[in-house]
Structure formats: C-alpha cells, structure tokens
Amino acid sequence: MHAAARIITDLGDLFVASAAGLVLVIWAWFNLGRMVSLAFWTCHAATFGLVTLIKLWTGRHLPQPDQVALWAPSAGAPSGHTAMAAIVYGCCAAVFLKVGRGPLAALGAALCLAAIVAVSITRVTLHTHSAADVAAGLAIAGGFAALFVRVLSVQFRDQAPELGGLLVALVVVAGLALVSRVRISSLGVF
C-alpha cells in the first residue's frame, strides 16, 4: 500500500505536475488562445513561487510534521505536492467543465479532481505533511486557480474544441513523468 501511495503522491511532484501542466499550456495555446495558455502558466508559476517563499519561512520557524497535531501547520507548510496538483489538475478540470460537454468532459474533470483528492490524502497518510499543510497548499492553489477560471470565462468564446486529445495527452505525459522517476521534490526544497 505504501508503494501505491508514493506513486499517487508523486502526481503532485513539481516535475510530474509541471509536465502535465505543459500539456495544458500547449493544448490551450492552440485551442483556447494564447491568453488562456499564458494565464495558466502564470498561475502555475505564481503558485510555485508563493509556496516556495512560505516554505522557506516555515522550514525555519515551525516544527517537523511528525511533531505537530493533525491540524497544526508544520515546517513543511504549505504542501507543495498538494499545491501543484491543485493548480495543474484543478485548472485542467476547469477546462473540462467550462469548455467541454458530455461524458468525456465529465470523465476528464472527475479524473483531475480525483488526482487532487488522492494527492492531498497521501501527503497526510505518508506523514510528510499535516492536514493544515495540505489545506494551506489547497488554499494557495485555489486562489490562483480561481484567477485562471476568471480568465478562462472571459476569453472562452463558446467554441467546442476536441477534449479527447487533452485527456489522452494528460494521462500519457503524467504517466511517462511518473515512470521516469525524475522527482524535483527529492531535492529537499519543495
């Protein structure tokens, strides 16, 4: 079970999530316009930057996750894996829900939201973060995801691009990133 949890939690690793995010950047550029694409990448970068800045402070001033209560912030706050999963897969879910129609859009949104929930749960069950750390990661990413959804709402012009390619590319690229075993979070900063 521990091995499966490690694989699931790695969906939020900076390398894996950013690879999936690059799929959205490219797909959005060609299907929704450069403004939507750039808005996502800006929100992704802002999430990463803010999480990193906060982690630099909490790492020096708060106790380790195994030394705090479940709902107390720790030296790992906010959870970078949770934040990256939430910004990437959350914005992808927004695209599926806002742009798509039918069962394919529902499947894409459900898979993206399931990834966020699964990464969030495994960060706590693997004892790498407290629930407060995970909630902080969700809050930061949620704010930037809301900004992306606003841009998507303004820029989207009721076209109906094919979402099958986006869904397949997300699954393939995230899967390849997972099996590559490249992990940026293993460097200890994120």
pLDDT value, residue 188? 54
The Cα 51–Cα 81 span in angstroms is 10
Mean pLDDT by 10 residues, the chain (190 residues): 88 96 97 96 97 94 90 92 98 95 94 98 94 97 98 83 92 95 65
Q: What is the pTM of this model?
A: 0.93
Q: Cα–Cα distance between 66 and 71 in angstroms, integer?
A: 12
Among residues 134, 131, 85, 135, the alpha carbon closest in space to that of 111 is found at 85
In angstroms, what CA-CA distances link 31 with 17, 58, 99, 141? 21, 40, 10, 24
Write down the pLDDT at residue 1: 65
* Number of other CB atoms surrounding residue 112 within 10 Å: 24
pLDDT at residue 184, as a whole number: 83
Provide the residue type at 45 as one letter.
A
pLDDT value of position 83: 98
Distance CA 26, CA 37 (A): 7
Position 3 scores a pLDDT of 85
Q: Which amino acid is at 74?
A: S
Classify each residue of 154-189 as buried b or exposed e, where b means 16 or more C-beta atoms within 10 Å of its C-beta.
eeeeeeebebeebbebbeebbeebbeeeeeebeeee
Say what the pLDDT of residue 58 is.
94
pLDDT at 96: 96
pLDDT recorded at residue 183:
77
